[in-house]
Amino acid sequence: MSLTIALDAMGGDFGAPVTTAAALKILHTQPDIKLILVGDKSTLTDALKLKPLNIINRISIHHSSQVVSMDESPAVALRTKKDSSMRVALNLVKNGTAQACVSAGNTGALMATARFVLKTLPGIDRPALMTALPTSKGHCHMLDLGANIDATPEILFQFGVMGAVVSNAIDNIKRPTVGLLNIGEEEMKGGEDIKLAARLMESSEVNYYGFVEGDDIYKGTVDVVVCDGFVGNVALKTSEGLVRMVATFLKREFTSSWRNKLAALLAKPVLTAFKNKVDPSNYNGASLVGLNGIVVKSHGSADIDSFANAIQVAVLEVEKNVPEKISKIVESFLLERQAV
């Protein structure tokens, strides 16, 4: 099955040099996909010069005259950047030219613009940023990671439903377990909103595990971890910072003497395997779930491999038809609750 992904080729900290290289990398490994690079035509044309014909034939350029800067206000971007590479890429999803959009651009602007252009699915109040995180058992999915600073009990419940659907579709888990991130596992812990969200989960068909704590994320206690965007973003950035600190310490120690350098050489296969399991770039690509279309947010500082991974996330979600599955499950849950 051939599918088409639209890339915001100008977004992110590095723009076209990274997005075009990532696009070429994906096309080498994915023979059945096509990519539309959205951005300044002359810049993108220059970046694609002297590439193999069989690869270039599966890339098209869609010119846009504007770029949303990384520090731009979402409201300003939405109002004044109607021909930005971000907005045009989303429009291509809306009109059916592409089945998904990938952007490393301004998160707030992407969230606001995607919600305006694509709208949310019926029964979903707000979309959420969701990604996979490594665990001792494999990986889990976590949402929200920053799209919504706070969330009502009803919205947290919706996050749980969407997370379960994605985990089921992507990981083929029949009944994914869902946990609410809290300051303790006991029922009396946490604020009133999270307690109300727990009651909504318990009274639904969601396979609700209960409250989970921060260390449960990486234990793999549940398949889906639910929280508001403030908590989720802090947890994500703290985790990424920890991985980088450990990598810095290891490099420093393994290069501090010739004995340690020898030990590093002997330990290289183990270190490489460890890096592959915890490297944030291998998990790059957060889905904006709950929209009437597929949108994947890459880290703004993503390198070529990281951005290519975000494209791969979009491809997988198209193949699994994630929005339609979310819509069907949410509709059935809404009917179930109306009948009570």
Task: Check whether 320 has a pLDDT greater than 80.
Answer: yes
Does the pTM of the predicted model rise above 0.75?
A: yes
Number of CB atoms found within 10 A of residue 55's CB: 17
Residue 243: pLDDT band with limits 50, 70, 90: confident
What does DSSP assign to residue 284?
-
Q: Which domains does the chain have, with CATH numbers?
A: 1-124+290-323 (3.40.718.10), 126-283 (3.40.718.10)
CA 197 remoteness from chain centre? 23
What pLDDT, in 10s, does the model give residues 129-180?
999 898 888 889 999 898 888 889 999 999 999 999 999 888 889 899 999 9
Residue 270: pLDDT band with limits 50, 70, 90: confident
Per-residue confidence (pLDDT) for residue 51, from 0 to 100: 66
Task: Check whether 2 has a pLDDT greater than 90.
Answer: no
Residue 336: pLDDT band with limits 50, 70, 90: low
The answer to whether 224 touches 160, Cβ cutoff 8 Å, is yes
Span 246-275, mean pLDDT? 86
Per-residue confidence (pLDDT) for residue 205, from 0 to 100: 84
Span 30-59, mean pLDDT? 84
Reading the block at residue 67, the tokens are 């770029």
Per-residue confidence (pLDDT) for residue 334, from 0 to 100: 63
| 143: Cβ contacts below 8 Å, ≥ 6 apart | 128, 129, 130, 131, 159, 162, 163, 224, 225, 226, 227, 232, 289
What pLDDT, in 10s, does the model give residues 17-29?
999 999 999 998 8
Task: Check whether 338 has a pLDDT greater than 60.
Answer: no
Q: How far apart are CA 291 and CA 93, in angstroms?
A: 11
Reading the block at residue 339, the tokens are 């009948």
Q: What are phi and psi of 213, to 5 degrees?
A: -105, 175
Q: What percent of the chain has pLDDT over 90?
A: 54
